[in-house]
Amino acid sequence: MFAEALDADDEWGTTTMRPRLLAWLRAFSGRAGDGTLPRLQATAAAMLDRLTQRWAGIRIPDYPSLARAGSAVAQLPGGWQPQP
């Protein structure tokens, strides 16, 4: 998944791959650890640092009902039809 995102930022639901991957890395590396998986947390933090530099300016969109002023807003995927 990360290898694909290095080449292209494909659509993935209401956003694209890169913001999602950055959000996952930020959530995992930023959690208050109890000493569990310290090397994996350090690896995630290092990946987050490198990818944040590489993909400068990427913002994770807010859902419309939770959007703040000036934030990026998530868009419905093309062709999505709500179910009754």
Residue 29's pLDDT is 85
Q: How confident is the model at residue 79 (pLDDT cuts 50, 70, 90)?
A: confident
Q: How open is the CA angle 41-42-46, to the nearest 5 degrees?
A: 120
Q: pLDDT value at position 65?
A: 82
Q: What confidence score (pLDDT) does residue 32 get? A: 67
Residue 20 contacts by C-beta under 8 Å, 6 or more apart in sequence?
A: 12, 60
DSSP the chain: -HHHHHH---EETTEEHHHHHHHHHHHHHTS--SSSSHHHHHHHHHHHHHHHHHTTT--PPBPGGGPPTT--B--PPTT-----
In the block, tokens 């995992």 appear at 28
Question: How confident is the model over 47-72, as pLDDT tens digits?
Answer: 999 999 999 988 888 877 888 888 88
What pTM was estimated for this model as a whole? Answer: 0.74
